Structure 1
Amino acid sequence: MKPASYEYHRAHDLEHALELLGELGEDAKPLAGGQSLVPMMNFRLARPSALIDLARLDELRYLRPVGDGLRIGALTTHRTVETATLPGGFGVLSRAARWIGHYPIRSRGTIGGSLAHGDATAEWCVLAVLLDARIVLRGPRGQRTVPAAEFFHGFLSTAAEPGELITEVVFPSPAPRAALTEFAQRQGDFGLVVVAVALETEGGHCRAARVAAGGVGSAAQRLPAVEQALAGAELTERAFAEAARAGVAELEPPEDIHASAGYRRTLTATLLRRACLEAGA
């Protein structure tokens, strides 16, 4: 299929983009890399009245260490993060970017676009929740910051308000023992389940854990039951497997044509074990 008709506008800078969003109304959509929005338009799942091309907004392309944290501009591509030499403790971002689609998608798609789309299995959404990221938005009422835990509201739904643009994502602190893994039916597809973990270890044991997953609910989310099960576990495959099985026992993942709830639950436990082994190595 082809998209429904729409107007095309090119923003010259951030202020111009915000002006266009305000003038064109709620049915206008910003166009970043286009790797999520354009396919939806082709299937007519999205019918914006206008597109506002952000390609010239170079001010939103950056990777900036700030203190112990890292700021990433919204128009930074997946490929840029994949190939960057990031500060210590943020290597999980580069490793995770390799899971995203195929090379052309990583070269065009942007972090801000992925977060704005809000797919539950998008790697950046899962990592944002895992690492307590902060999403910075600009709109008609100025700038505001939303914690990732409060940003994703459900299926393709976020806290971004009409007229707002994501300008950057802030990862406040490093996670030296972190890993993300996933399973998709075909290479490059969105994962059926995506799991990310960050471990704090001491004396051969997991002292504390953060665990986030996509594909087990309508939005990327933390898994507190798994985190509790991992606390105190030995850094062994057997201990990780037992903690993963116990932690996911009460999960109620969605069921669809791709997988049953039971399959997703089992898959989550398997991916948890793999991610924990990688993070704890």
Structure 2
Amino acid sequence: MYAFTYERPTTLAQAVSHLQAGGQALAGGQTLLASMKQRLLAPEQLVDLGALPELQGVCQDGDHLVIGAMTRHQDVANNALVRQHLPGLASLANGIGDKQIRAMGTLGGSVANNDPAACYPSALLALGATVVTNQRSIAAEDFFQGLYSTALEPGELITAIRFPLAQRAAYAKFKQSASRFALVGVFVAQTQAGVRVAITGAGNGVFRHAGLEAALSQSFTPEAVAQVAIDASDLNGDLHASADYRAHLITVQTQRAVRLALA
């Protein structure tokens, strides 16, 4: 490992000051530290966010759940409010990686990294969540901008995610067996405004599918999904799965998610 400085601020203002001076935020470190070990990233300063209590925890604010950016995956999965009001989100968090990753990885770190096969972005997009930073609030529709790309500006820090409550919501994914990332993951949410379907693992970042949403808005059943054609031309193909296979998995995982939501 090469030389770098390490800061562990105890206030949000201190953290933001370090980040605006060029520091690299360290949340759970599940991607960052591995990238540093492989010499893919070489930050000169790490800013550890682990000592900021205001970035942790879950609370209910009217018809929203507000989850701090530094809340660990296992805490999202086990939180009573999440399990009561958004059990699909709790189930998603419980299926990320293994126990070690869930014990260290954070909601905000995953969202900021925007891995194209990560699980959380599909929940944000399907539920119509809002990303809250130290500067502003950003709708999920505007936040995710493609492969590892987000609307965050230099020095901007995610502080929390606001999740609207849904009538029904569920997540289903087909795991890549080694990494446990999603070959295809589908989050389905039924709200008063209609149905939203967000897909991860299949394309150049998370995306919604208008055809699936229209079909499920008419009939929220697994049978309705079977009638929707999935275009494979814009999907990923690699050594793990072809684009055509991922298109098939979108249908299968969406049907699974609908069944889970109805259960």
TM-score range, shorter chain: over 0.9
TM-score normalised to the size of structure 1? 0.87
Contact kept? 1:175, 1:198, Cα under 8 Å: yes
SS at structure 2 position matched to 1:86: helix
Instruction: Note if 1:242 corresponds to 2:242.
Output: no
- Give, in whole Å, the separation in 1 of the partners of 2:233 and 2:187: 16
Distance 1:234 1:111, change over 3 A: closer
Instruction: Note if 1:163 corresponds to 2:155.
Output: yes
Following superposition of structure 1 onto structure 2, how do residues 76-91 of structure 1 map, counting pairs within 5 Å? 76-86=71-81, 88-91=84-87
Contact kept? 1:121, 1:193, Cα under 8 Å: yes
Unaligned runs of 5+ in 2: none
Deviation at 1:191, TM superposition (A): 1.0
Contact kept? 1:208, 1:232, Cα under 8 Å: no
- Give, in whole Å, the separation in 1 of the partners of 2:91 and 2:261: 12
The corresponding residue for 2:15 is 17
Instruction: Note if 1:137 corresponds to 2:147.
Output: no
The corresponding residue for 1:224 is 210
Unaligned runs of 5+ in 1: 202-206
Contact kept? 1:252, 1:265, Cα under 8 Å: no
Root-mean-square deviation (CA), in Å? 1.9
1:256 to 232, 238, 252: 238
- Give, in whole Å, the separation in 1 of the partners of 2:217 and 2:64: 25
The one-letter amino acid of 1:242's match is A
The corresponding residue for 1:211 is 197
SS at structure 2 position matched to 1:11: coil
The corresponding residue for 2:166 is 175
- Give, in whole Å, the separation in 2 of the partners of 1:185 and 1:89: 29
- Give, in whole Å, the separation in 1 of the partners of 2:100 and 2:203: 29
Instruction: Note if 1:74 corresponds to 2:56.
Output: no
Q: Percent identity?
A: 38
The corresponding residue for 1:204 is none
Deviation at 1:39, TM superposition (A): 1.2
The corresponding residue for 2:180 is 189
- Give, in whole Å, the separation in 2 of the partners of 1:151 and 1:73: 17
SS at structure 2 position matched to 1:217: coil
Contact kept? 1:100, 1:188, Cα under 8 Å: no
SS at structure 2 position matched to 1:154: coil
The one-letter amino acid of 1:54's match is L
- Give, in whole Å, the separation in 1 of the partners of 2:28 and 2:232: 38
SS at structure 1 position matched to 2:85: coil
Cα shift readout 1:186-241 (whole Å, capped 9, x = no counterpart): 1652111111111369xxxxx94210001222111111121112232363x4x144
The one-letter amino acid of 2:216's match is L
- Give, in whole Å, the separation in 2 of the partners of 1:280 and 1:230: 12
2:119 to 119, 123, 141: 123
The one-letter amino acid of 2:173's match is E
The one-letter amino acid of 1:8's match is Y
The corresponding residue for 1:51 is 46
Cα shift readout 1:11-52 (whole Å, capped 9, x = no counterpart): 1211111111122x2xx3110111121112122222212111
Distance 1:278 1:12, change over 3 A: same
The one-letter amino acid of 1:219's match is G
Q: Which has the larger radius of gyration?
A: 1
Contact kept? 2:215, 2:225, Cα under 8 Å: no
The one-letter amino acid of 1:32's match is A
- Give, in whole Å, the separation in 2 of the partners of 1:116 and 1:155: 11
The corresponding residue for 1:29 is 24
Equivalenced residue count is: 262
Cα shift readout 1:71-121 (whole Å, capped 9, x = no counterpart): 111111111111111164312111111110111111111111111111122
- Give, in whole Å, the separation in 2 of the partners of 1:4 and 1:270: 46
TM-score normalised to the size of structure 2? 0.93
